[in-house]
Amino acid sequence: MKLFNTLTRKKEEFKPLKEGIVTMYNCGPTVYWYAHIGNFRAYIFADVLRRYLEYKDYKVNQVMNITDVGHMTSNADEGEDKMEVAAKKEGKTPKEIAEFYTNAFIEDWKILNLEEPIKRPKASEHIKDMLNTVQILLDKGYAYEANGSVYFEISKFPEYGKLSHNTMKDLKVGAGGRVEKNSDKKNQLDFALWINDDKHLMNWKSPWSEKGYPGWHLECSVMANKYLGKTIDIKTGGVDNIFPHHECEIAQSEAANDVPYSKYYIHTRHLIIDGKKMSKSVGNFYTIKDLIKRGRSPKAIRYLLLSAHYRSQLNLTEESLDSAEKTVTNLLNFIGRIQETKIEERYNDDLKEKINEVKLRFENSMDDDLNVPEALSAIFDLISETNKAIDEKKINKNNLDEVYEAMMKFDKVLGILEHKKEKIPKVVLDLANKREEARQNKNWKEADKIRDEIKTLGYIIDDSSSGPRLKKV
Ligand code: AMP
Ligand code: ZN
């Protein structure tokens, strides 16, 4: 399997540090507001990557943090803490804000059918670990204290810039435009590890000042080290995380531990809307619930977000949502069709061959830097061949079971269908048979009565052209 590594700017063969086990850290949300669907593009990418690694029989230890302190409005050191801005705006404490939006985030996570990570560490619960790392960096001479704050001195870490491919010269030019100079910093490019601020609502005592809080970059690298080790296999985030966030994480972690921070850095391109990046600060965003309220189904939202290659831009439009909705309906109808078809013809060897070919294409595409669009096109090919075989009555139960099994295996990665062969309770089946009998006898009143009874048990009967079908309400 090959993955595009931002660090080397190459597709590289994926080989985890330990055979059979993958450690992956995904930069998670800052919980000052609802996550928007652009954020979920990054998370769903991580989810599909994890699911595909599991498909390949790796055990995946996935960690995604919750940022509840220290993420400034500028993404660097300037501005205000996003959590505190929200707290003031909503008249709540930062803790209340964090709790509310963390719960909303997890709800959306479940609605979109993402797998649970092994841990969702909260930054505010890891202050001690962060203070330890800051002390190590001070002791090793990578950091300095000024007026109760502590900064990482980037000139002490010559590899600074290796992820974003920025040279010190580029960075200096970039920093030139800053409005305010921080006179505590030796170099304006140095970044804060610990910030002395007695007005900050969330504050902790440290060896350097009475009241302070950690820098956002520090949080992620400390939690990644704590739960996954000093070197992890995969680090992910959106492209906006490359610099400064991940660049600074590398500097801190590698300076403190003397080993590489992560083997692979994988970044998702942005979801755009009307040609602009969807972002909370610009206000051009949709949350998951916004879209659901507008009648969009979670399956279609998930499908849309995963269907484009993660390194290409994805433009959200009403048309793209319509088309995702249509595709998901077709996929679900197809599963319904193969479950219901009752044709007992000769076993179709060609269809078996098709399944094998499609499996191979699916795997080759996914192995090629997670090329989901190609993998999907292989699946659609299987669907059209199967439909053709059904239409031509060149199929039997074994073929249908094999197609179903293949589709479910693909869906372990996609997480769209999850149309488990659910057993309909016997009492419901018996009632359905009784109703059918009543209908045959033209006893409509009795048939309607039984239909209502079935409904109270959580099932509805859909009288399709191929006979009655039971569906869960
Ligand atoms: P934030 O809550 O802003 O820290 O963002 C959380 C994650 O979502 C990060 O990995 C970001 O890179 C990613 N992200 C933010 N906006 C977008 C977008 N429009 N499209 C894709 N990913 C995004
Ligand atoms: Zn992070």
Q: What angle do CA 200, 202, 204 make, to 5 degrees?
A: 100
Domain ends where: 414, 445, 464? 414
The answer to whether residues 251 and 395 belong to one domain is: no
Query: Does any ligand 1 atom lie closer than 6 A to the CB of residue 241?
Result: yes
Q: How many residues does the chain have?
A: 473
Place of tokens 């033209």: 442
Query: Does any ligand 1 atom lie closer than 6 A to the CB of residue 237?
Result: yes
Which ligand has an atom closest to residue 310 CA?
A: 1
For the CA of 277, the nearest atom of ligand 1: 19
Mean pLDDT of the chain: 93
Query: Does any ligand 1 atom lie closer than 6 A to the CB of residue 70?
Result: no
* Distance, CA of 155 to CA of 31 (rounded, Å): 33
DSSP conformational letter for 178: -
- Give the number of C-alpha atoms closer than 13 A to the C-alpha of residue 331, restricted to the C-beta side: 23
Residue-wise pLDDT tens digits, 123-142: 999 999 999 999 999 999 99
Please tell me whether residue 145 adopts helix, strand or coil conformation: strand
In angstroms and rounded to an integer, the radius of gyration of the C-alpha atoms of the chain is 27
CB-count burial class (<10 Å; 0-12, 13-18, 19+) for 278: buried
Q: Is the pLDDT of residue 443 over 60?
A: yes
Question: Do residues 290 and 316 lie in contact, with contact meaning Cβ atoms separated by under 8 Å?
Answer: no
Residue 114 lies inside a defined structural domain of this protein: yes
The answer to whether residues 388 and 465 belong to one domain is: no
Q: To test the ligand 1 pocket, which listed residue (31, 37, 68, 240) has its Cβ within 8 A of the most ligand atoms?
A: 240
pLDDT for 205 equals: 97
The answer to whether residues 190 and 222 belong to one domain is: yes
Residue-wise pLDDT tens digits, 60-70: 999 999 999 98
Q: Is the pLDDT of residue 408 over 90?
A: yes
Residue 419 lies inside a defined structural domain of this protein: no
Please tell me whether residue 321 adopts helix, strand or coil conformation: helix
Domain ends where: 252, 268, 284? 268
Query: Does any ligand 1 atom lie closer than 6 A to the CB of residue 30?
Result: yes
The answer to whether residues 398 and 450 belong to one domain is: no
Hey, whose CA ends up nearest to atom 15 of ligand 1? 39
The answer to whether residues 165 and 262 belong to one domain is: yes
Pair type for strands 191-196 and 212-214? antiparallel
The answer to whether residues 80 and 192 belong to one domain is: yes
pLDDT for 311 equals: 98
Query: Does any ligand 1 atom lie closer than 6 A to the CB of residue 38?
Result: yes
Place of tokens 């197809």: 334
Among 454, 397, 393, smallest CA distance to 427 is for 454
Residue-wise pLDDT tens digits, 204-218: 999 999 999 999 999
Question: Do residues 211 and 203 lie in contact, with contact meaning Cβ atoms separated by under 8 Å?
Answer: yes
C-alpha of residue 271 to centroid of ligand 1, in Å: 9
The answer to whether residues 249 and 194 belong to one domain is: yes
pLDDT for 98 equals: 95
Question: Do residues 83 and 102 lie in contact, with contact meaning Cβ atoms separated by under 8 Å?
Answer: no
Q: Is the pLDDT of residue 421 over 80?
A: no
Classify 274 in phi/psi space as left (phi over 0), alpha (psi -120 to 50) or beta: left
Name the residue type at position 266: I
Average pLDDT over residues 108-119: 96
* Distance, CA of 36 to CA of 305 (rounded, Å): 12
pLDDT for 218 equals: 95
pLDDT for 175 equals: 56
The answer to whether residues 370 and 403 belong to one domain is: yes
Which ligand has an atom closest to residue 64 CA?
A: 2
Domain ends where: 234, 268, 302? 268
- The number of helix segments (H) and strand segments (E) in the chain equals 15, 15
Hey, whose CA ends up nearest to atom 21 of ligand 1? 270
For the CA of 240, the nearest atom of ligand 1: 12
Average pLDDT over residues 172-183: 65
Question: Do residues 391 and 375 lie in contact, with contact meaning Cβ atoms separated by under 8 Å?
Answer: no
Place of tokens 């921070």: 261
Q: To test the ligand 1 pocket, which listed residue (39, 74, 277) has its Cβ within 8 A of the most ligand atoms?
A: 39
C-alpha of residue 185 to centroid of ligand 2, in Å: 23
The answer to whether residues 376 and 434 belong to one domain is: no
Residue 282 lies inside a defined structural domain of this protein: no
Please tell me whether residue 107 adopts helix, strand or coil conformation: helix
Residue 51 lies inside a defined structural domain of this protein: yes
Backbone φ and ψ for 184, nearest 5 degrees, come out as -75, -20
Cis upstream peptide for 468 (omega within 30°): no
For the CA of 272, the nearest atom of ligand 1: 19
CA–centroid distance for 436 within its chain = 45
Query: Does any ligand 1 atom lie closer than 6 A to the CB of residue 240?
Result: yes
The answer to whether residues 223 and 363 belong to one domain is: no
For the CA of 71, the nearest atom of ligand 1: 4
* Structural domains of the chain, count: 3
The 3 state secondary structure assigned to 402-461 is: HHHHHHHHHHHHHCCCCCCCCCCCHHHHHHHHHHHHHHHCCCHHHHHHHHHHHHHCCEEE
For the CA of 239, the nearest atom of ligand 1: 12
pLDDT for 124 equals: 96
Model confidence at 458, pLDDT cuts 50, 70, 90, reads: confident
Hey, whose CA ends up nearest to atom 23 of ligand 1? 39
Query: Does any ligand 1 atom lie closer than 6 A to the CB of residue 316?
Result: no
Name the residue type at position 414: L
User: Crossing angle of helices 298-307/372-391, nearest 10°?
Assistant: 120
| Higher-pLDDT residue of 170, 268 | 268
pLDDT for 468 equals: 78
* Distance, CA of 62 to CA of 47 (rounded, Å): 9
Residue 306 lies inside a defined structural domain of this protein: no
C-alpha of residue 284 to centroid of ligand 1, in Å: 13
DSSP conformational letter for 162: T
Name the residue type at position 418: E
The answer to whether residues 464 and 409 belong to one domain is: no
The answer to whether residues 228 and 354 belong to one domain is: no
Place of tokens 């409904």: 455
C-alpha of residue 27 to centroid of ligand 2, in Å: 4
Query: Does any ligand 1 atom lie closer than 6 A to the CB of residue 279?
Result: yes
Q: Which domain holds residue 348?
A: 318-414
Q: What angle do CA 262, 267, 270 make, to 5 degrees?
A: 160
Residue 290 lies inside a defined structural domain of this protein: no
Residue-wise pLDDT tens digits, 9-55: 999 999 999 999 999 999 999 999 999 999 999 999 999 999 999 99
CB-count burial class (<10 Å; 0-12, 13-18, 19+) for 169: exposed
C-alpha of residue 364 to centroid of ligand 1, in Å: 28
Query: Does any ligand 1 atom lie closer than 6 A to the CB of residue 308?
Result: no
For the CA of 241, the nearest atom of ligand 1: 12
- Give the number of C-alpha atoms closer than 13 A to the C-alpha of residue 11, restricted to the C-beta side: 10
Query: Does any ligand 1 atom lie closer than 6 A to the CB of residue 270?
Result: yes
Query: Does any ligand 1 atom lie closer than 6 A to the CB of residue 271?
Result: yes
Residue 301 lies inside a defined structural domain of this protein: no
CATH of the domain at 342: 1.20.120
Place of tokens 């949502």: 321
* Distance, CA of 466 to CA of 27 (rounded, Å): 49
Question: Do residues 55 and 45 lie in contact, with contact meaning Cβ atoms separated by under 8 Å?
Answer: no
Residue 132 lies inside a defined structural domain of this protein: yes
Which helix H or strand E contains 463, and what residues bound it?
strand 459-464
For the CA of 271, the nearest atom of ligand 1: 20
